[in-house]
Amino acid sequence: MERPQVVAHRGSSATNAEHTLGAYVAALDEGADALECDVRLTADGHLVCVHDRNVRRTAYRDGVVSTMELAELEELDFAAWKNPWADLDDEAPEVDPELNKVLTMRRLLETAADYPRRVELAIETKHPTRYAGLVERRLVDLLDEFGWAGKDSPVRIMSFSWVALRRVRRIAPHLDVVYLMDGPTQWARLRPIAEPSWIAGPGINLLRDHPEVIRRISKSGTRVHCWTVNTEKDIDLCIDLGIEAVITDNPGAAIRYLDG
């Protein structure tokens, strides 16, 4: 079996502010095979890479993404929370402010497309949201601009919502989809609904607590991707259970361990 694909969770987010361009450039420099991101829709219809419904945690401002326009979000610093004392550190390296702004989905796709090797993307659409299926439709339309909405696309769509994944497959039947889950019975309940090609996406706690469930899913021929895998012990568990891709906050460390 080949080593698992190493997927950078929100970029190289252990050491960089998540979902910033700086975090994704760092992940690529560390050799990440793929980039993971969350996507939300702004009030004026732009797709942005933000995990939380409210930007309070990452931008020091109380604001709901779906009610804000892109221009408002672009005024915010999405990286200061990671190193709040940087302005007082005389030895801190100079950082391009553009690397710390809100990251649009388009910019992330351009970054991956321009990289000199193949870079895959695992894009999670967040639900529930006031825009319902518009998020998936806008995302597929954007992927289509890059030629990435059909066969051999480097992109897969992930969600905890099976409704969202069925929506994706209706409008882009060749895209891979990953059903995210954190309970031991979720995959069994999904099987009558899901197509055989759907990928299972358990969290690492599910692997630790119910390895027999994951082994059974993997042995059935289903592809399995796991989040968020941050220790060598957990990487070993993923290998033992036949996990195809590990989503990690520290892609550089994961690659060094797997290839060492």
Catalytic residues: 9, 51
Bridge partner list, 9: 36
Bridge partner list, 157: 123, 177
Rounded to 5 degrees, φ, ψ at 32 are: -55, 135
Tokens of 149: 């909405």
Longest CA–CA separation in the chain, Å: 59
Cβ within 8 Å of residue 77, ≥6 positions away = 59, 60, 97, 100, 101
C-alpha to C-alpha distance for 179 and 189, rounded to whole angstroms: 12
DSSP state of 83: S
Cβ within 8 Å of residue 181, ≥6 positions away = 160, 187, 190, 200, 201, 202, 203, 206
Do the bridges between strand 120-125 and strand 47-48 make them parallel or antiparallel, or are there none, so unpaired? Answer: unpaired
C-alpha to C-alpha distance for 113 and 119, rounded to whole angstroms: 8
Answer yes or no: are the C-beta atoms of 255 and 32 closer than 8 Å.
yes
